Amino acid sequence: MNQPTRGAQPPATAAVLPIIERLIATVDAENRDLEQGRRVKYEVYSLNKNQGLLEFNRLLPALAVAAAGPLRDALAELHAKLEINRRALALQLKACEAVAEIITRAIQDGQSDGTYTALAWSRSRE
């Protein structure tokens, strides 16, 4: 993210920009891990994102005026990166659900002796 000059900004804006920058860095790191297939530290990333959002929400009342300039740009960048993060996490979750379904089916098939399957019933009628 481009580092805006913080001196000419209202104090609340100057206080919130570093928080947004930390959130962006956290989301970028998580997205990189997801893209590169590395082991993702979900708990650490979640904790860091929650902390940043808590800090941001606490400063929100002080940002009563509409976000302008560097703050608007930072929020737009954060929004875009969070959308990429949401999509990557949704894909990861879908893959985990597919693997869990395969494992569940394998366990069920391994525990069954075939007595109650449609295939066993159709063979007994022949």
Q: What is the pTM of this model?
A: 0.72
Q: How many CB atoms lie within 10 A of CB 73?
A: 16
Domain range for residue 115? 11-124
Structural domain contains residue 5:
no
End-to-end CA distance of the chain: 71
Burial classification of residue 4, based on how many CB atoms lie within 10 Å of its CB (0-12 exposed, 13-18 middle, 19 or more buried): middle
Structural domain contains residue 97:
yes
pLDDT confidence band for 25 (50 / 70 / 90): very high
Residue with tokens 């009563």: 64
Structural domain contains residue 6:
no
On the question of pLDDT at 27 being above 90, the answer is yes
pLDDT tens-digit readout, 29-78: 999 999 999 999 999 999 999 999 999 989 888 776 656 678 888 989 99
Structural domain contains residue 58:
yes
Overall domain count for the chain: 1
Structural domain contains residue 99:
yes
Structural domain contains residue 2:
no
Burial classification of residue 83, based on how many CB atoms lie within 10 Å of its CB (0-12 exposed, 13-18 middle, 19 or more buried): exposed
